Amino acid sequence: MRKIILSVILITILLLSIFSLSFVTESKTLGAHVVELKLDTGDTAWMVVATAFVLLMTPGLGFFYGGMVGKKNVISTMLQSFMAMVIVTVLWVVIGFGLCFGPTIGGFIGDPSSNIFFQGVSANTAWELAPTIPMILFALFQAKFAIITPALITGAFAERVRFWAYLLFMVLFIIFIYAPLCHMTWHPDGMFFKWGVLDFAGGTVVHMSAGWAALAGAIFLGKRKVQKVNPARITYVLLGTGLLWFGWFGFNAGSAVGAGSLAAQALGTTTIAAASAAMAWVFLDKILGHKLSAMGACIGAVVGLVAITPAAGFVSIPHALAIGIIAAVISNLVVSKFPKGKIDDALDVFACHGVGGMVGMLLTGVFASNAVNSVVGEHQGLIFGDATLFLTQLKALVLVSIFAFVGSYILFFVVNKITPLRVTEEKEELGLDISQHGEYL
């Protein structure tokens, strides 16, 4: 039955792509928020590079997660990230971009019909908020954010998920969780955008959604038979962290959608937050009586990168340093206090990405300054004496948390009804590399 379904899907996509020109034509008139391109070659060159940077983050995540799991699950864990690049890219072209950036439906989701198979996604037009780069480049840059988000979730249910069930969950997550959050936050007609919620590069859209989905998945799938395993390759974790840090410059500085001073500011805040968080993590470990570990330094750096993501283009360098330290301390304490005996979040995705994203969102409401970015407007951060932005960020945080957790749990339930999410005990004992892929290190 599965072979028949997969064959039908492949044939359908193939036929639609071949004959798409018969029903998909580029509109002669510009749609909502699509404007005439005012090409800037410098901006375009930077965004091509930034798009490549962000794509590199997903293989980097594969190394980061793959090094943490047991040896018999390394390939499967890394392949989960790789397949996100494959599946989400196709989904993004077919309907994903339209769901996120198409004409709004109630400020909640986009209408995909206007951008199906990239209809209207031209090299000769531009998105309203990125007028100096081709719209197709903007769309492909945004695709990389969609790719890494479900890949982040995989660390929570590592070493026990059936691969085909994961692929189905990933598709449903992009459509029903990621797309609405992306539209509400980054589309000019989106609900959060109109509220004045500030999320420069994905605190709500990427990290909070992934963190809460990870918690839902860890709860739904239950605990592994053996929760304490020796990491397969600490060197993979170090390599993955380096690739993530490198790629994050495209993630955050690229979100300026231009090669200007804002991109430089975002790059600076990104690297100082990562450094200060890594420092704070290992210092706190030492204070608490633990050894200074490579794993701790790497996790701390990633937490800093997560936390600065929503704030990168809105805060100063000193405030970025503070965000990194605060996020690292809070996430470290959450990791140590997390009820691991009851909830098996294998790689602490919720404590690092979920909590880190929430801390970053709130601290954006504390430190955001219109001296850094005029988009902040008259309502600056709490530290400047105005609570309006902070309360707006807090309201969005609560709503996103509820939506992402409840929605993801429902999706796990639905997927499990269609095909079992969890491998059998025998296959878990054998390891996912062999049982799911017939391969091993």
The SS3 assignment for 339 reads coil
What is the rounded CA–CA span in Å between residue 111 and residue 212? Answer: 26
What is the rounded CA–CA span in Å between residue 201 and residue 204? Answer: 9
What is the rounded CA–CA span in Å between residue 261 and residue 259? Answer: 7
The pLDDT of residue 22: 53
The pLDDT of residue 7: 81
Q: Which residues contact 86 (CB under 8 A, 6 or more apart)?
A: none
The pLDDT of residue 21: 55
Tokens of 376: 């902040």
- pLDDT per residue as tens, the chain (441 positions): 667 877 877 887 777 776 665 555 444 456 689 999 999 999 999 999 999 999 999 999 999 999 999 999 999 999 999 999 999 999 999 999 999 999 999 999 999 988 999 988 999 999 999 999 999 999 999 999 999 999 999 999 999 999 999 999 999 999 999 999 999 999 999 999 999 999 999 999 999 999 999 999 999 999 998 888 899 999 999 999 999 999 999 999 999 999 999 999 999 999 999 999 999 999 999 999 999 999 999 999 999 999 999 999 999 999 999 999 999 999 999 999 888 778 999 999 999 999 999 999 999 999 999 999 999 989 999 999 999 999 999 999 999 999 999 999 999 999 999 999 999 999 999 999 999 999 987
Q: What angle do CA 220, 173, 431 make, to 5 degrees?
A: 50
Report the C-alpha dihedral over residues 373, 194, 111, 175, rounded to 10 degrees. 80
pTM confidence score: 0.95
Q: Do 204 and 361 contact (CB within 8 A), yes or no?
A: yes
Q: Do 302 and 244 contact (CB within 8 A), yes or no?
A: yes
The pLDDT of residue 27: 45
The pLDDT of residue 241: 98
